[in-house]
Structure 1
Amino acid sequence: MRTIRRSQLKEIVPLSDTTIYEMEQRGEFPRRFNLTPRCVVWDLAEVEAWIEQQRNASSAGRTQLSNAPDVRLRKARPVKSDQE
């Protein structure tokens, strides 16, 4: 088994720390584990398998978008004025 640290993970998966953490909590990304109390790592094989799964899902058109609100459905968008 080969493990990678956070800096190496960020080179492979261009997601923010917060996004990775939230995806781990939802079970959508491989879980990190501690080698020592101060050393957090991921299993490289699990990360590579996740990337391949995302690639296959994208190719098949099954990629899920986040549950973010659709900004196109807003009734109005507040605009800041320079005088406030």
Structure 2
Amino acid sequence: MDINKMKKRHLLQVFELITRKGVKTEGVYEYHDIKASQDFDGYTCWLSFKDLTVTLLFHGAYDLDYKSEETLKIFFKKIANLLDD
């Protein structure tokens, strides 16, 4: 699946929201069932929800890994709701 620029920006915004408002356990933040983590230098970030993992790389590159199309739809709906609050 290709993510347009708007969705990429939303992914970065929701990553920031989760790390700001979420509960941190062993280096992983969780907020509204979405987990956010990053490597030691912050150049690679991950968002995960159920069977979905989004890898956000430096300079806007990304990778999506998921098993269920339904999980992907729910994930994008959840992040839209979080950003609307």
Q: TM-score, normalised by structure 2?
A: 0.31
Larger radius of gyration: 1
Higher relative contact order, structure no. (Cα contacts within 8 Å, ≥ 6 residues apart): 1
Q: Which has the higher strand share?
A: 2
Q: TM-score, normalised by structure 1?
A: 0.31
